[in-house]
Amino acid sequence: MTNKVKIAIDAMGGDKSPKKVIEGIKISLKSNLENFFYLYGDENLLKKEVSKNKLLAQHCEIINANNVILDHESPLAAAKRGKDTSMWKTIESLKEKKAHISLSAGNTGALLVISRLLLNTIEGINKPALAALWPNKNDMSIVLDLGANIECDEKNLTDFACMGSALFKSLFQIRKPKIALLNVGLEEIKGNNILKKTSTILKNNSEKNFEFCGYIEGNHIMDGNTDVIVTDGFTGNIALKTAEGTANFITENLKISLSNVSKLLSYMSLKKFKKKLDPRKYNGAIFLGLESPVVKSHGGTDSIGFAHSIDVCNKIVRADLIQKIKSNLITVDA
Amino acid sequence: MTNKVKIAIDAMGGDKSPKKVIEGIKISLKSNLENFFYLYGDENLLKKEVSKNKLLAQHCEIINANNVILDHESPLAAAKRGKDTSMWKTIESLKEKKAHISLSAGNTGALLVISRLLLNTIEGINKPALAALWPNKNDMSIVLDLGANIECDEKNLTDFACMGSALFKSLFQIRKPKIALLNVGLEEIKGNNILKKTSTILKNNSEKNFEFCGYIEGNHIMDGNTDVIVTDGFTGNIALKTAEGTANFITENLKISLSNVSKLLSYMSLKKFKKKLDPRKYNGAIFLGLESPVVKSHGGTDSIGFAHSIDVCNKIVRADLIQKIKSNLITVDA
């Protein structure tokens, strides 16, 4: 098992689990045999599924967990009764250094709280952040924080910039990612004092591990000129969900407007369109700043989306993300 | 001129002005003869255009202004040299009670600064807000603030709720608009203290002039279940621009993906789609909280979009928006 990337998986989290989890692992094994999976969940159920496929059985170890954290459970309630759940045990395996990274499609709030309870933060970081892939005209960028921290100061935003740049390097092999701060205008006088202070810090520390490009407005997130977009968790969450809502609204309206005939005729080209913007390609939010990375798959994704998240896990471990974050950090005077 | 709605227009602001302004007025006169327009700008140019059309000449008075505020001028620089500009004179006509309302497609920042310089706020309001129409599944809702105020407290957000509800009533003849606060979750514990305090105030004052529906997340803005969505100017600006960016990104990708054949075939249905989501229908942001309403047309809109803004001006004056705001206000203990 040397050189294997060891991934702890909450096999019960998200819709249609563990089926989609098992199918996702099977898909990932087709192109990549270097991962080993610890599956946490209902032992009998998982054994039955895994034993059907020899390759799968060779690459998985099953560990029983009697309970599952539900999607609508409050994070604190989930954490309180959590110890014998698949999610808790998955994160615990990181604490015990059994696995390099963990992956769950379960309740996001509970995952953040349990991860913070069980894992230490990287030295120098006091607020871990949730980062995700965001499609753009060229390929994709990383946006963080997406909701882990409602209020952030200049030290937190600077940490997010350093962590986001380390993540971008890990996923895309770019030496100096382009970083920008989300703001309501491009001029230096725009925004609140925290943004202005962060801008000064990043400007003074640019050119080492990243290139600081100043401010970016919401309508330019998808232009493809910026690799990492940094914001506080409140703004990032509103931006992400507003973008999701807008995308859904437009595609719904498009479906209604297309008559049946043209629907059929444009089927092929719409398929091309959908393929490019397939949300499964962007599946996988990464909780950054803890001693081990915790990856969150979208609860509603399917096995293909789950396989994409496994790929993200593999890249993060192979690139030694945690080490990259440590060497990226900037000291901010309190 | 009794019973006329008197609209002061900055005839030089925005792209392709004064041509689109004149054409916009002509379009509005086809369905509505009860408006009278004061046009501020280059007298010779405007006289030449207006004199071509008898109906137009009857409904317009031209007042010369030698200068124009440019689109990329900083608001403060614009305000400093502003006195002989079409925008300044337009707003000044409100101060002099010559017009009921003003309309400009020029530089937004300059318009906000000049309006605040020349006009008093409504008694009890210390931060005016920028509100706009936002399309949703049923029709449209109002979102505010969209960028006039970067930092807001619970009194400001409460004022925005009262002003937004008065505006919605004025435009759509709804007795009790449904109001929600933009937040990162629906539970009472979500968000910062200012949101929690505002939520309590609105809950205690609900059922009089509006129905308070609690929190709303970014992905539900367009669901059509809420009439007025309240947020601070920073978050509102990020949400609006992210939605614009997402909509552009999707429609651009759609155009690229459609082959020429299917482009032709789906032309008719895409036309229907575009008609429903025509941004010109949502043209016109309203600066609320001053003694007179100031309407901002999108700089890049055409004459049809400008005519929609004129329609918004007419409705606001007819419905006596300022009086509605005054009687809607809630006293917030400091």
Report the pLDDT averaged over residues A15-44. Answer: 96
pLDDT band at A1 (very low <50, low <70, confident <90, very high): very low
Rounded distance, CA B75 to CA B116, Å? 11
Beta-sheet strands, E only, within B139-198: 140-144, 178-182
Of B249, B257, B273, the CB nearest to A222: B249
Q: Which residue has the tokens 């007179």?
A: B292
Q: What is the pLDDT of residue B178?
A: 97
Q: Which residues of B touch A219 (CB under 8 A)?
A: 241-242, 244-245, 248
In A, minimum Cα distance to B246 occurs at A243
Are residues B253 and A150, on separate chains, in Cβ contact within 8 Å? no
Alpha helices by DSSP H, B119-232: 154-172, 193-204
| Phi-psi map region of A124: left, alpha, beta (phi>0 left; psi -120 to 50 alpha) | left
Architecture of the domain defined by A129-257: 3-Layer(aba) Sandwich (3.40)
Closest CA–CA distance from residue A58 to any residue of chain B (Å): 42
Closest CA–CA distance from residue B79 to any residue of chain A (Å): 17
What ipTM was reported for this prediction? 0.90
Closest CA–CA distance from residue A25 to any residue of chain B (Å): 30
Q: Which residues of A touch B257 (CB under 8 A)?
A: 269-270, 272-273, 276
Closest CA to B135 of B303, B266, B332, B273: B273
Q: Which of residues 65-104 of A touch B (CB under 8 A)?
A: 74
Q: What predicted TM-score, i.e. pTM, was given to this entire model?
A: 0.92
Q: Per the structure block, which two tokens stand in for B286? A: 């309203």
Q: Which residues of B touch A134 (CB under 8 A)?
A: none
Report the pLDDT averaged over residues B277-301. Answer: 89
Beta bridge partners of B181: B215, B230
Q: Which of residues 22-41 of A touch B (CB under 8 A)?
A: none
Closest CA to A29 of A48, A46, A10, A53: A53
Q: What is the pLDDT of residue A331?
A: 84
Q: Which residues of B touch A157 (CB under 8 A)?
A: none
Chain centroid, CA B2 distance in Å: 26
Closest CA to B164 of B197, B133, B196: B133
Q: Mutation target for B interface from A153, A249, A263, A281: give the one with most B CBs within 10 A.
A: A249
Q: What is the pLDDT of residue B257?
A: 65
Write the CATH number of the domain with boundaries B5-125+283-320.
3.40.718.10
End-to-end CA distance of chain B: 44
In A, minimum Cα distance to B220 occurs at A245
Are residues A221 and B242, on separate chains, in Cβ contact within 8 Å? yes
Write the CATH number of the domain with boundaries A5-125+285-319.
3.40.718.10
Closest CA to A157 of A175, A141, A133, A181: A181
Residue A262 has pLDDT above 60, yes or no: no
Least confident of A30-39, A60-69, B5-14, B75-84: B75-84
CB pairs under 8 A between A and B: 163
Q: Which residues of B touch A266 (CB under 8 A)?
A: 258, 262, 265-266
Q: How far is CA A223 from CA A91, A216, A237, A272, B54, in A?
A: 36, 10, 19, 20, 47
pLDDT band at A268 (very low <50, low <70, confident <90, very high): low
pLDDT digits (tens, 9 = 90+) for B204-222: 998 778 999 999 999 999 9
Q: What is the pLDDT of residue A130?
A: 96
Residue B197 CB-density burial (10 A; 0-12 exposed, 13-18 middle, 19+ buried) = middle
Are residues B262 and A265, on separate chains, in Cβ contact within 8 Å? yes
Give the containing element (helix H, strand E) for A16. Answer: none
Same fold, B5-125+283-320 and B129-257: yes
Give the containing element (helix H, strand E) for B60. Answer: strand B60-64
DSSP state of B146: S
Query: Hey, is the C-beta of B266 within 8 angstroms of any chain A C-beta?
Result: yes
Least confident of A122-131, A321-330, B259-268, B296-305: B259-268
Q: How far is CA A38 from CA A12, A52, A60, A283, in A?
A: 12, 17, 6, 20
Q: Which of residues 217-236 of A touch B (CB under 8 A)?
A: 217-223, 231, 233-235
pLDDT band at A263 (very low <50, low <70, confident <90, very high): low
Q: What is the pLDDT of residue A334?
A: 56
- Classify A6 as helix, strand or coil: strand
Residue B128 has pLDDT above 80, yes or no: yes
Q: Which of residues 108-147 of A touch B (CB under 8 A)?
A: 135-137, 147
Are residues A273 and B258, on separate chains, in Cβ contact within 8 Å? yes
Residue A221 has pLDDT above 80, yes or no: yes
Are residues A245 and B151, on separate chains, in Cβ contact within 8 Å? no
Q: Per the structure block, which two tokens stand in for B303? A: 């004459």
Rounded distance, CA B241 to CA A235, Å? 12
- Classify B66 as helix, strand or coil: coil
pLDDT band at A188 (very low <50, low <70, confident <90, very high): confident
Rounded distance, CA A304 to CA A312, Å? 13
Least confident of A130-134, A212-216, A278-282: A278-282
Closest CA–CA distance from residue A297 to any residue of chain B (Å): 19
Residue A261 has pLDDT above 70, yes or no: no
Report the pLDDT averaged over residues A314-329. Answer: 95
Are residues B257 and A276, on separate chains, in Cβ contact within 8 Å? yes
Of A137, A192, A272, the CB nearest to B257: A272
pLDDT digits (tens, 9 = 90+) for B294-320: 999 999 899 999 999 999 999 999 999
The ranges assigned to domains in chain B are 5-125+283-320, 129-257
